[in-house]
């Protein structure tokens, strides 16, 4: 729950600083977390979602905005693309540091060795280990392709 308190504190600071753009993004983050909390309570988890699920929410928000930036740039709406990029910057403040290519390769090697993966059929288990440990730290779409190459070769 430490992540939530950081976001709430940042929201209060943005209000004091009268930083409307930052405040807007932080409110979007808070709304997404609350939506997931409501869904979790419906599933019987009264305490809502934990930090790992908050990281997943933030990762998803970044991914959505990256897609929006591409769409806006293709459509010639650079003003909207810039606003999306500003939102990405705010959201990424709450995500762990992204892993370098070498660190991603090392994480994949470690996960493959841990689950004893030797064929493409083990890809789901390897990805499960990566997602549980490195949420918000790597692009799982790209990592999935690298795991597939590693297990196929």
Question: What pTM did the predictor assign?
Answer: 0.75
Residue indicated by tokens 């609350």:
34
Q: Containing domain of residue 29, as a range?
A: 2-92
Residue 8 and residue 54 in one domain: yes
pLDDT at 45: 83
Residue 86 sits in the same domain as residue 134: no
Same domain? For 65 and 121 the reply is no
Q: Are residues 26 and 81 in the same domain?
A: yes
**pLDDT beneath 50: ranges in the chain:** none
> What is the structure's pLDDT at 1?
58
CATH of the domain at 145: 1.10.10.410
- pLDDT for 35: 93
Number of domains in the chain: 2
Question: Does 12 share its domain with 75?
Answer: yes
Same domain for 135 and 86, yes or no, is: no
55 plus 115 within the same structural domain? no
Are 88 and 106 in a shared domain? no
Are 84 and 105 in a shared domain? no
């Amino acid at each position: 729950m430490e992540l939530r308190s950081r976001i709430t504190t940042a929201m209060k600071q943005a209000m004091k600083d009268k930083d409307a753009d930052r405040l807007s993004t932080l409110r979007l983050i808070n709304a997404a977390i609350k939506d997931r909390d409501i869904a979790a309570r419906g599933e019987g988890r009264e305490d809502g979602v934990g930090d790992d699920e908050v990281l997943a929410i933030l990762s998803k928000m970044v991914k959505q905005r990256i897609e929006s930036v591409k769409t806006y740039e293709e459509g010639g709406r650079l003003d909207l693309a810039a606003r999306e990029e500003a939102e990405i910057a705010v959201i990424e403040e709450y995500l762990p540091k992204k892993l370098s290519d070498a660190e991603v390769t090392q994480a994949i090697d470690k996960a493959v060795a841990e689950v004893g993966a030797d064929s493409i059929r083990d890809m789901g288990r390897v990805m499960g280990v990566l997602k549980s440990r490195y949420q918000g730290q790597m692009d799982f779409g790209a990592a999935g392709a690298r795991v597939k190459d590693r297990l196929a070769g």
